[in-house]
Structure 1
Amino acid sequence: MKLAIGSDHVGFELKPLIIDYREELGHEVTDFGPFSTERTDYPIYGKKVAEEVAAGHFDGGVLICGTGVGISISANKVRGIRAVVCSEPYSAKLSKEHNNTNIMAFGSRVVGSELAKMIVKEWLEAIYEGGRHAKRIEMITELETEQKR
């Protein structure tokens, strides 16, 4: 899989560990920043990664900020994005299987490096089930389309 990753300054230190781990799992990873611990704003990187995923340049994305919440809210403002914040592996897995999430977010102040790896692994290995869930994804897409008018 081709994956995009981004963070803010708070998530910066955890990001290289996740990049290395994803590459160990055999995924191609592109880092969209930031590239230092200098204070920055999470919406910048949430948007960058989300736009790349929505455009089809990447199969998915991972975003990291302090809690995962702000950066995921930013990503979800991009049409076609279904970003989820997870602090444990089970929700990560089900978010992909049931909601076909295309971006995973978590907080570096909430989860440690080993738990973050477990969350990412479950999300990457999960497969969207479709079926009964497809109708709900269509409904979400309709809501998104209504808001863009």
Structure 2
Amino acid sequence: ILLCGTGIGVSIAANKVKGAYAACIHDVYQAQRAELSNNANIITMGSQIIGINLAKELVKEYLSCTFDTHSRSMPKVQRIINYENDLISA
């Protein structure tokens, strides 16, 4: 879980690390979809965008979700992983 003013800067920085999949979230739906549709292993939030109570709720929601490798989102996630691996090996 990473925080900065908007959540965007730390998301960009985190996504530079191989194997890091950061999603910037600011509402419950994004918190759910970060994991369920995108298999994000990092969430980022903006301290100037949301308050502490919402941040706690979003963390709780994100942690309650589990990515299903048999979901219809898996091919998309696999394409992202393959793209990353192609960049590394090039």
Shared fold (TM-score, shorter chain, > 0.5): yes
* Deviation of the 1:76 alpha carbon: 0.4
- Counterparts of 1:118 and 1:146 in 2: how far apart (Å)? 36
Aligned Cα root-mean-square deviation (Å): 0.9
2:47 is matched with: 108
**Structure 1: tracts of 5 or more residues without a match:** 1-61
Q: Matched residue pairs, number? A: 88
Structure whose CA Rg is larger: 1
Q: Structure 1 counterpart of 2:61, which letter?
A: E
TM-score, with length taken from structure 1? 0.57
The code of the aligned residue for 1:67 comes to T
Which residue of structure 2 aligns with residue 14 of structure 1? none
Deviation (angstroms), 1:133: 1.6
Scaled by the length of structure 2, the TM-score of the pair is 0.92
Quote the sequence identity (%).
Answer: 38
Deviation at 1:103, TM superposition (A): 0.2
54, 67, 75: which is aligned to 1:135?
75
Unaligned runs of 5+ in 2: none
Cα deviations across residues 104-137 of structure 1 (Å, max 9, x unaligned)? 1000000000010111111010111222222111
Letter in 2 for 1:129: D
Map 1:1-149 onto structure 2 (within 5 A).
Answer: 62-131=1-70, 132-148=72-88, 149=90
Structure with more relative contact order (C-alpha pairs < 8 Å, separation 6 or more): 2
